[in-house]
Amino acid sequence: MPRALSRRCLLAAALCQTPPDGFVLKGFWEATASGYRIGGTWQARGTSDPQECDGLWTVIRPPGEVVLEGTWNARKRRGAWEGGWTARITGGARYSGTWKAAVRLPADAPLLELFESALRKPVNGTWADSARRSGAWTLWGG
């Protein structure tokens, strides 16, 4: 199995990034996929719809090199901490799928609150994409 990403590596990369205007939250993410562990940074902002957020993301490989970056959008199903997502690699492919979060927040809270809670303690969940890949993820604030 490939070496796990170092949290120090992710921290160093995230500290070098300043969120663009409008992006109010930022942190790190780590996910598993087909036995691999990948990770990077995330930036999030709310939209006019409280059940939706969008943002920027990166995939980082040690020693802090950004190997992928792009945009994302997530929509929460009303009354549940699950929904759909899309991600696009800058200048490239687009991916979509579903997500579920294991978080103790009121079911009717806005989606941005999920990212706000990651600033206090890690948030875990699962993901699946349209190519039938799936895995687990963790978000934490930075």
- pLDDT tens digit sequence for 38-66: 999 999 999 999 999 999 999 998 888 99
Determine the pLDDT at residue 128: 95
Distance separating alpha carbons of residues 14 and 25, to the nearest angstrom: 12
Identify each DSSP E strand in 77-122 by its residue range: 82-89, 94-102
Under 8 Å between Cβ of 68 and 93: no
Distance separating alpha carbons of residues 139 and 40, to the nearest angstrom: 10
Residue 1: closest CA among 40, 38, 35:
35
* Mean pLDDT value across residues 80-109: 90
Give yes or no for residue 10 having a pLDDT over 70.
Answer: no
* Mean pLDDT value across residues 120-135: 94
Give yes or no for residue 11 having a pLDDT over 90.
Answer: no
> What's the pLDDT band for 24 if we cut at 50, 70, 90?
confident
Determine the pLDDT at residue 2: 39
pTM comes to: 0.78
Percent of the chain scored above 70 by pLDDT? Answer: 84
Determine the pLDDT at residue 70: 92
